[in-house]
Amino acid sequence: MSSVKEGFKIFVAEDNEWYNKLIIHNLSLNPDFIVKGFFNGKDLLKAMNEQPDVVTIDYRLPDMMGDELLAEIKVNYPQTAVIVISEQDDIEVAVTLLKAGASDYIVKSKDIQSHLLKIVNTVRHTSELKNEIVSLKREIQGKYAFEKTMIGKSKAIKTVFEMMSKAMSTNINVTISGETGTGKEVVAKAIHYNSYCKNKPFVAINMAAIPADLLESELFGHEKGAFTGAINRRIGKFEEASGGTLFLDEIGEMDINFQAKLLRALQEREIVRLGSNTPVKINCRIIVATHKQLQKEVQAGNFREDLYYRLIGLPIHLPPLKERQKDVLLLAQHFIRNFCAENKMEEKHLSESAQQKLLTYQWPGNIREVKSVVELSVVLSPNNLIEASDISINPTDVLPQLLTEEVSMREYNRRIVTLYMTKYNNDTKKVAERLDIGQTTVYRLLNEITKD
């Protein structure tokens, strides 16, 4: 596989005609290589707009020295690899050229053909890996493009959009709160991949999943021999995220004894690896997420107040799906479309009865539950129209919510109707009978749900 569509381009600058032909012939034995020769530096520079992948240059050309030509290429074509070929085995010159950006320095000898071919193949392999990394980064950035990340048109989600836009334009710390399944990590990634540091690392760690005695090593890293089992030096998440974003998920679960160390790291903008006394400067944006109310955790003594104010930055609260009911169908069709595309299936759609069933459920698992339910419905549906009977949801999770929250009687009525609609498969007549109310009242309450 070549790094460019028309082949892997190699330019050879060598004033000795015999040596020029030798190098070109040797490299041209590979059918993937497109090789072109030049006898001086000026002609080579004129052709550089063809963007070769590799250039080999003789250190002593008739019109300029190798270091001068190397500098010119690196300033204007930094992505091009340059291999310097010389008659002299001068270590000092070689070191200077390598520091200036040369990929390698070769001394002319009887083995130069095999040596040069090995170097070119290494450069080619490295170039392909770089191209793959760039391609993957673009793919990830496209995946988390703002317009593709958060699906919804409700008033509640529009407020989230506004806050995300503010976060993308600055490097302020961000605290994302919301129930489990509302998409906190998705929001964190969207902020990162649409910000100034989008080409830098996004490093995530779930604070609830790391034992308290391992947190310091995970975040700050450790030196070889710092503790039993530390057989090598390991950099921590702060260093991994250098220049990018460190996402601390479930920050509310962090051990209270470690919070002072994290606070100091954030204040001083430096960490010390376990087993070391040398401070390491850190440079990354911090985004945290929690399903808890951190202010209440502070009041309860579970979270340091000074750390809370250091982290809070820009708060973004993700509303539960029951507060953005009109977004349910948009999310459902989005997940159906993606699932069908990933599995090379013809796109499926929701029937009216299926839509009504989705709208009348409270979704305690939020967006994550919608995704799970509709993907299963795609698999269960025998044709391209998903019916209510293809949607498997469990309404029992709604019961504990009905009487534990202080809401209006109107809201209680709507929730009860929603529960019964799910239980009786959207049969409004049966729901009206079971609740001993008119069927028109059921329709009115359902209409109010779709309007909210």
pLDDT for 324 equals 87
**C-alpha torsion 451→348→424→439, nearest 10:** 40
**3: confidence class by pLDDT, cuts 50, 70, 90:** very low
pLDDT at 7 over 80: no
- Structural domain that includes position 205: 146-319
Q: In this structure, are 35 and 173 located in the same domain?
A: no
SS3 category, 360: coil
pLDDT at 339 over 50: yes
Gap between the Cα atoms of 335 and 331, Å rounded: 6
Gap between the Cα atoms of 393 and 381, Å rounded: 15
pLDDT for 119 equals 87
Q: In this structure, are 278 and 334 located in the same domain?
A: no
What is the number of other CB atoms lying within 10 angstroms of the CB of residue 386? 26
272 lies in some domain = yes
Q: What is the pLDDT of residues 90-121, one digit of tens each?
A: 788 888 888 888 888 888 877 777 788 888 88
More confident position, 207 or 445: 207
Which of the listed residues 86, 108, 139 is the one where a domain comes to its end? 139
Q: In this structure, are 175 and 280 located in the same domain?
A: yes
pLDDT for 1 equals 36
**399: confidence class by pLDDT, cuts 50, 70, 90:** very low
Q: In this structure, are 338 and 427 located in the same domain?
A: yes
Which of the listed residues 303, 319, 335 is the one where a domain comes to its end? 319
2 lies in some domain = no
Q: What is the mean pLDDT of the chain?
A: 85
Q: What is the pLDDT of residues 128-147, one digit of tens each?
A: 777 666 566 565 555 555 55
Q: In this structure, are 184 and 197 located in the same domain?
A: yes
Which of the listed residues 139, 166, 187 is the one where a domain comes to its end? 139
Q: In this structure, are 188 and 248 located in the same domain?
A: yes
pLDDT for 75 equals 86
Residue 243 sits in a domain whose CATH number is 3.40.50.300
HSE of 295 in the Cβ direction (CA atoms, 13 Å)?
2
188 lies in some domain = yes
360 lies in some domain = yes
Structure tokens at 338: 């993606």
Cα separation values, 99 from 76, 95, 269, 311, 420, Å: 17, 6, 30, 41, 74
pLDDT for 101 equals 86
Q: In this structure, are 97 and 221 located in the same domain?
A: no
Number of domains making up the chain: 3
3 lies in some domain = no
pLDDT for 86 equals 84
371 lies in some domain = yes
Q: In this structure, are 197 and 54 located in the same domain?
A: no
pLDDT for 142 equals 56
Q: What is the pLDDT of residues 242-301, one digit of tens each?
A: 999 999 999 999 999 999 999 999 999 999 999 999 999 999 999 999 999 999 999 999
Encode 328-363: b = buried (16+ Cβ within 10 Å), e = exposed: bbebbbbbbeebbeeeeeeebebbebbbbbbbbbbb
Q: In this structure, are 157 and 290 located in the same domain?
A: yes
1 lies in some domain = no
First-to-final CA distance of the chain: 55
Residue 359 sits in a domain whose CATH number is 1.10.8.60
Q: In this structure, are 284 and 163 located in the same domain?
A: yes
301 lies in some domain = yes
Q: In this structure, are 332 and 381 located in the same domain?
A: yes
